[in-house]
Structure 1
Amino acid sequence: MNDLLLLIIYCALLGSVVGFLAGLLGIGGGLVIVPILSVFLLHFEIIPPEQVVIVAVATSLASILFTSTSSAIAHHKNGNVPWHLAPWIMTGVALGALISGFMAALLPEQVVRIVFAVSVVLIAIKMFYSSTKAESTTERQMPNKGLLTFFTTITGALSAMIGIGGGALLVPLLTFFSIDMKKAIGCASACGIVIALFGSIGYISSGSVHFALADGFAGFVYLPALLGIVCTSWFTAPLGAKSTHYLPVSTIKKIFAALLLVMAVNMIM
C-alpha cells in the first residue's frame, strides 16, 4: 500500500472521530485535526517540517467547511441555532477569519503553535471550572450588535489562526452571556462554516506561491488529507449533534475541557 493511500485511510479514521466531536461540541474539529494531522504529515515526510503546522491548520479549516455544514444542518433541525443572533456573529467571525487567513504566511510556525496551545489550555480551564460549579442564576445581557460583532471578529481571527471552527471560543463567549449551552453549540456549528470558508480563502491565496495544485495542494490546503477527513466526518457529525439531547450539559463541558487539554499538550510536545 503506497504512502498516499495510507495517509488518506488514516485521515478517514481521524475524520470519523472529528465529525462526531464536531456535532457534539460544536468545535468544528480543528482542535483534534491540527495536532494529529501534523503528526501524519511529519511521518510521511510530505512537506518540510517548518511548514507542517500551517498546512495542518489550513487543511483543518477546509475540512471544517464540510463538517460544520453537516453539524449545523443537524442542529438546525433540532432547533438549536439562535438565528436572531447568528447573522451578527457570522459577520464578525467572517471578517476575522479572512484577515487571519491572509496573514498566515507571515506568522512563524512556533508562534502559531504557542498561540494554539495557550488558547486551548485557558479555554479548557474555564470550561472545566464552569462544569463543576452550580449553574449561575445571573442573567447577563447580550452586548449590543456592534460590540458583539467586534468580539466575534477577534474570535474569528484567532480561530482561523489556529485552524479551528470557532466553537472552542464561541461556546464559552455565548454561554457567558447566558445563552443555553446547546444553542451556543448549534450557533458555533453554523459560524464554523463562515470561519472555515473565509479562512480557507485566505490560506489558499497566501499559500499559492508555496505549493502547486499538481502536487496535491490548493494553497496551503493538502487535498488528499482533506478528502480523507471529510469522507467520514460528514456522516458522523449528525450523530454527535443528536447526542447533545441525551448528555447533560455538565458532561458535555467536561468532555470539552478534557479534549482541549489533551490536544494542547500534544501540540506543545
Structure 2
Amino acid sequence: MIETWLIYLLMGGVAGVLAGLLGIGGGLVVVPMLVFVFPGQGVDGSIQMQMALGTSMATIMFTAISSLKAHHARGAVRWDVVRRIAPGIVLGTFLGAMLVSRMPTSWLKGIFVIFLYYVSLQMLLNKKPKPNRTLPGPAGMFGVGCGIGGMSSLVGIGGGTLSVPFMTWCNLPFHTVIGTSAAIGLPIAVAGTAGYITGGWGHGLLPPLSLGFVYLPAFLGIVAASVLTAPLGAKLAHSLPVDRLKRVFAFLLMIVATRMLMGIL
C-alpha cells in the first residue's frame, strides 16, 4: 500500500510540473500510469479507463488552480479569453464525460493511444499554426470551447494540447498562451469531474472509496504532490528552453502509447 501511495505522489509531482511548464493538465501522464496501476488495486477491467479518465480530470482541478495562480502572478493570463471560451468549455466537457461513461474501455484506450501519438508527433515536429488572425466572435469562441472541452473529457486532459495551438493561431504571445491555457484547464476539470461522477454514480463494479468514476485514494495522492510542483513548473516555463523539453516529453509519450497499444493488442 505504501508503494502505491508513493506512485500516486510521483504521478502528482510530474503532473504538476507539466501543468506549469507546458500548460497542460498532466493527464497525458496520469491517465496511462493509472491504467497500469489500477489492475493491482482491484479495479475491474471493464471500467479501468473510465476510472483513470475521471480521476485524472478531478486532479486537474487542483493542478489548474495552482498553475493559474502562478501564471496570473506573472501577468500571463488573458482572463477575457477565459471568460469568452468558458461557456462552451463547460458544456462540451460535461457532455463528453457523460458520453465516455457509456463507452467500452477498449474503445477509450484506442482513442487515447491515437491521441498520444498525435500529441507526440506534434511536439517532435514542433509544428505551430501560423499566427494569421485574431480571436473569433462569441459564437466562434463557444464552438471552439465545446470542441476543446469534448475532446479533453474524452482523453482526460486539461485541454492545453488543443487550446495552446488555437491561441497561438490567434496571435497571442506564447507565454500568455501557456498561462491562459492553464486557466482554461479549471472549467474543463470542474465540468469533466462533474460528468464523470454523475456518469459513474451507482455503477455496480466501482471499487471501494470511489465517487462515481473518481478513485479517491489516487485523487488524494496525486493532488497532494501536484499542487506543490505546479508553481515550480510555471517558474521554469519562463526560464527553460520549453521547445527542447517538449521534444524529450514527446519521446516519452510515444513509448507510453506503444506500451498501451501492445496491451490492447
Give the TM-score of the pair, scaled to structure 2: 0.91
* Structure 1 spans left out of the alignment, 5+ residues: none
**Match of residue 31, structure 1, among 10, 28, 51:** 28
1:141-193 residue CA offsets vs partner (Å, 9 max, x unmatched): 22223112201211111101111111111112211222222211111111111
| Cα separation, 2, equivalents of 1:260 and 1:84 | 32
> Do the aligned partners of 1:34 and 1:60 also contact (CA within 8 Å) in 2?
yes
| Cα separation, 2, equivalents of 1:179 and 1:253 | 20
2:170 is aligned to: 177
Cα separation, partners in 2 of 1:123 and 1:14, compared to 1, 3 Å:
closer
Cα RMSD, aligned residues only: 2.1
Post-superposition offset of 1:261: 2.9
| Cα separation, 2, equivalents of 1:176 and 1:79 | 21
1:49 is aligned to: 45
Which shifted more, 175-184 or 22-31? 175-184
| Cα separation, 2, equivalents of 1:178 and 1:197 | 28
* Paired residue total: 262
- 1:84 match: secondary structure: helix
Aligned: 1:221 with 2:214:
yes
> Do the aligned partners of 1:8 and 1:227 also contact (CA within 8 Å) in 2?
no
> Do the aligned partners of 1:22 and 1:237 also contact (CA within 8 Å) in 2?
yes
Post-superposition offset of 1:252: 4.8
| Cα separation, 1, equivalents of 2:54 and 2:126 | 31
Aligned: 1:63 with 2:56:
no
Amino acid in the other structure paired with 1:35: P
2:192 is aligned to: 199
| Cα separation, 1, equivalents of 2:30 and 2:58 | 11
**Match of residue 93, structure 2, among 85, 93, 97:** 97
> Do the aligned partners of 2:18 and 2:233 also contact (CA within 8 Å) in 1?
yes
- 2:154 match: secondary structure: helix
| Cα separation, 2, equivalents of 1:238 and 1:201 | 26
Cα separation, partners in 2 of 1:75 and 1:174, compared to 1, 3 Å:
same
1:128 is aligned to: 124
Post-superposition offset of 1:256: 5.2
| Cα separation, 2, equivalents of 1:95 and 1:194 | 10
1:72-99 residue CA offsets vs partner (Å, 9 max, x unmatched): 1001111111112111122221111110
Post-superposition offset of 1:56: 0.6
* Structure 2 spans left out of the alignment, 5+ residues: none
Percent of paired sites with the same residue: 38
| Cα separation, 2, equivalents of 1:127 and 1:214 | 36
Give the TM-score of the pair, scaled to structure 1: 0.90
Post-superposition offset of 1:49: 1.4
| Cα separation, 2, equivalents of 1:244 and 1:73 | 14
- 1:106 match: secondary structure: coil
1:168 is aligned to: 161
1:75 is aligned to: 71
1:244 is aligned to: 237
**Match of residue 108, structure 1, among 104, 113, 120:** 104
